[in-house]
């Protein structure tokens, strides 16, 4: 099947051809025809399968006729993160290059004034994160009563980030006659409840079992003998060097770890930069663009970058931490092996990660993941650590050493003053010091009061 067979209009087909796309992915082939009919769509597919085009293409087709009113967008796309929202906007620009559709991107880290100016002129396509969208609505700058098509992208990620109450509220602000396109990689019970409540007889399209990993991604684990952070970072560096990384993303569970790992890699002359939610939006945007352009080799990221980001031809994914939520493993490694390319994924597993690792295997349906033998490297690193420990004594060791030295020095001095063999004094004399009370050598045995009896005791009658 080709895109020409899906019923898209000629201008969209021309834009697709110029972008180098001829054959739709399975989710696109099934979702686009249903969306063009005006039906609600519930799409379930693993990450990297082309879900974004599954809703952008039919939306452009439908919005090609009509005109937007001020502060009343004709369509709405909700995305969980700023990066994913920005990527969706790029897709609209690519596929809608021959349509005069206006678009606004409402995300945090960008001036309210600029966003408000676009809304005031009227937009056909509004792409937003839930929080910023509701901020504009509560300020009276936005009405959602004109929404004809509403899209929820990466719905399960919305659940993980606590956006479900916001999503429910936004649904209630839009007309019940809207068309809803709902996409997710997994379908936990809470997401199922939302779809049952707000979608009307949707066409359910499931192109693969939820939480499965792509077959074109080779998966490996490295079991560390301990959770030592220094050993873990050294292992990561060794993997990067040994696996001939073209470009890669390193995922950490915590933002603090992202910064530490990125700094460590930079210190060891690796071309790496961090990206997580606490960094300024301008820095995050610049970092992602440089990574796409090949100016940065390694991206150290929190899960803010795990979902939906279309970064072409990422060769390697490194899970520095085993993900807390097993589903996140699927999304993380889905950043490689995109569009049919081969990819490689590695995960560092410490003894404390056994429970989380078991959850990953259960969720993905894998019996096991190939283990990388790095025993010799671990032995050498531990030997080096012991050597460093001996070469750099701790403060307490230094103090002990100093005290030991002083003790040896004292003994040496005492021995040097020891009597010669022909000395007539006792070989082990007792300490000699003057008795302040009697001036007598306290080393000698004293009977009674000795020779110095106080005068008052010698008086008669006492």
pLDDT digits (tens, 9 = 90+) for 295-334: 999 999 988 665 656 677 899 999 999 998 887 898 889 8
Closest listed residue to residue 45, CA positions, set 219, 216, 217, 212 = 212
pLDDT of residue 291: 93
Closest listed residue to residue 231, CA positions, set 359, 377, 130, 99 = 377
Q: Please, are residues 356 and 203 in contact by the beta-carbon 8 Å criterion?
A: no
What is the share, in percent, of the chain residues with pLDDT greater than 90?
58
Mean pLDDT value of segment 187-202: 94
CA distances from 419 to 171, 213, 416, 425, 429 (A): 100, 85, 9, 8, 10
Mean pLDDT value of segment 91-106: 94
pLDDT of residue 448: 56
pLDDT single digits (tens) 260-288 = 999 999 999 999 999 988 888 889 889 98
- The residue with tokens 């834009």 is 15
pLDDT of residue 401: 45
Mean pLDDT value of segment 203-217: 79
Q: How far apart are CA 313 and CA 293, in angstroms?
A: 11
Q: Which residues contact 437 (CB under 8 A, 6 or more apart)?
A: none
Which of 19-28, 120-129, 364-373, 389-398 has the weakest average pLDDT? 389-398
User: Which 3 state secondary structure label does DSSP give 26?
Assistant: helix
pLDDT single digits (tens) 384-442 = 888 887 765 444 444 444 444 444 444 444 444 444 434 434 444 444 444 444 444 44
With 80 as the cut, is the pLDDT of residue 49 above it?
A: no
User: Which 3 state secondary structure label does DSSP give 155?
Assistant: helix
Q: How far apart are CA 69 and CA 13, in angstroms?
A: 28
With 70 as the cut, is the pLDDT of residue 65 above it?
A: yes
How confident is residue 208, by pLDDT bands cut at 50, 70 and 90?
A: low
Mean pLDDT computed over every residue of the chain: 84
pLDDT of residue 309: 65
Q: How far apart are CA 221 and CA 349, in angstroms?
A: 7
Greater pLDDT, 440 or 189:
189
CA distances from 452 to 22, 374, 391 (A): 121, 84, 62
With 70 as the cut, is the pLDDT of residue 78 above it?
A: yes
How confident is residue 183, by pLDDT bands cut at 50, 70 and 90?
A: very high
How confident is residue 164, by pLDDT bands cut at 50, 70 and 90?
A: very high
pLDDT of residue 410: 44
Mean pLDDT value of segment 137-144: 95
Q: Which domains does the chain have, with CATH numbers?
A: 3-206 (3.40.50.300), 217-388 (3.40.50.300)
pLDDT of residue 451: 58
pLDDT single digits (tens) 365-378 = 888 899 999 989 99
Q: Which residues share a beta bridge with 125?
A: 75, 103
pLDDT of residue 219: 95
Segments in 243-353 forming alpha helices (H) = 255-267, 281-292, 326-333
CA distances from 106 to 163, 201, 304 (A): 16, 30, 17
How confident is residue 186, by pLDDT bands cut at 50, 70 and 90?
A: confident
Greater pLDDT, 448 or 187:
187
């Amino acid at each position: 099947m080709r895109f020409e067979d899906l019923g898209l209009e000629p201008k969209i087909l021309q834009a697709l051809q110029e972008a180098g796309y001829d054959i739709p992915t399975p989710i696109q082939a099934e979702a686009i025809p249903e969306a063009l009919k005006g039906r609600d769509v519930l799409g379930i597919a693993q990450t990297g399968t082309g879900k974004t085009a599954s809703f952008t293409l039919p939306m452009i087709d439908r919005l090609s006729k009509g005109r937007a009113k001020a502060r009343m967008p004709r369509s709405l796309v909700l995305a969980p993160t700023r990066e994913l929202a920005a990527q969706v906007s790029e897709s609209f620009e690519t596929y809608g290059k021959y349509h005069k559709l206006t678009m606004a991107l409402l995300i945090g880290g960008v001036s309210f004034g600029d966003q408000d100016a676009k809304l005031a002129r009227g937009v056909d396509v509004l792409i937003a994160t839930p929080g910023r969208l509701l901020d504009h609505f509560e300020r009276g700058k936005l009405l959602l009563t004109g929404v004809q098509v509403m899209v929820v992208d990466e719905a399960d990620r919305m659940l993980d980030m606590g956006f479900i109450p916001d999503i429910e509220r936004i649904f209630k602000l839009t007309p019940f006659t809207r068309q809803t396109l709902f996409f997710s990689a997994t379908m936990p019970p809470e997401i199922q409840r939302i779809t049952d409540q707000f979608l009307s007889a949707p066409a359910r399209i499931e192109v693969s079992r939820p939480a499965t990993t792509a077959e074109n991604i080779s998966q490996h684990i490295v079991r560390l003998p301990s959770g030592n952070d220094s050993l873990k970072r050294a292992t990561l560096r060794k993997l990067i060097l040994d696996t001939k990384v073209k470009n890669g993303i390193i995922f950490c569970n915590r933002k603090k770890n992202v910064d530490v790992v990125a700094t460590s890699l930079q210190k060891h002359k690796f071309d790496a930069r961090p990206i997580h939610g606490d960094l300024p939006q301008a820095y995050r945007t610049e970092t992602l663009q440089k990574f796409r352009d090949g100016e940065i080799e390694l991206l150290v990221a929190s899960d803010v970058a795990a979902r939906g980001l279309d970064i072409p031809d990422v060769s390697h994914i490194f899970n520095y931490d085993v993900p807390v939520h097993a589903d996140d493993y699927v999304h993380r490694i889905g950043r490689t092996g995109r569009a049919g390319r081969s990819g490689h994924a590695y995960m560092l597993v410490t003894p404390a990660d056994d429970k989380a690792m078991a959850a990953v295997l259960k969720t993905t349906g894998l019996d096991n993941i190939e283990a990388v033998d790095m025993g010799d490297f671990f032995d050498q690193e531990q030997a080096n650590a012991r050597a460093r420990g001996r070469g750099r004594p701790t403060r307490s060791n230094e103090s002990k050493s100093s005290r030991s030295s002083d003790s040896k020095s004292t003994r040496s001095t005492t021995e040097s003053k020891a009597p010669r063999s022909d000395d007539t004094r006792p070989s082990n004399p007792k300490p000699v010091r003057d008795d302040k009370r009697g001036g007598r050598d306290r080393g000698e045995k004293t009977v009674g009061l000795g020779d110095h009896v106080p005068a008052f005791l010698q008086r008669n009658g006492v």
